[in-house]
Amino acid sequence: MIAAKVIDSIWSTRKADSLVGLKFMLVEVLGGIDAGRLMIAADTISAGVGERVIVCSGSSARKMLGRDDVPIDAVIVGIIDEDCTF
């Protein structure tokens, strides 16, 4: 997984049927040589803009939704505690 900061919402009206109802957030990788990399992650735990989150990528992202037919490759799996410094 990677640590990232939620930057913004991404809105898409024309999209795969299986994605309807999913929230998408633009996140930016925090720290290390990948800092500043942008990703779009599905969010099912109501992460807010500015929060630091844990993003899971690849086939494992589908596991967060409890179904295997959705074309997503990144999902927010946790919100990093505010008092967690790193």
Contacts of 76 (CB under 8 A, 6+ apart): 6, 25, 27, 41, 42, 43, 44, 45, 47, 53, 54, 55
Closest distance between a copy of itself and the C-beta of residue 62, in Å? 6
Closest distance between a copy of itself and the C-beta of residue 50, in Å? 14
User: Is residue 33 near a copy of itself by the rule CB under 8 A?
Assistant: yes
At 63, give phi and psi (nearest 5°): -65, -25
Applying CB under 8 A, the residues found at the interface with a copy of itself are 1-3, 7-16, 18-19, 24, 26, 28-41, 45, 54, 56-64, 66, 68-75, 77-81, 83-84, 86
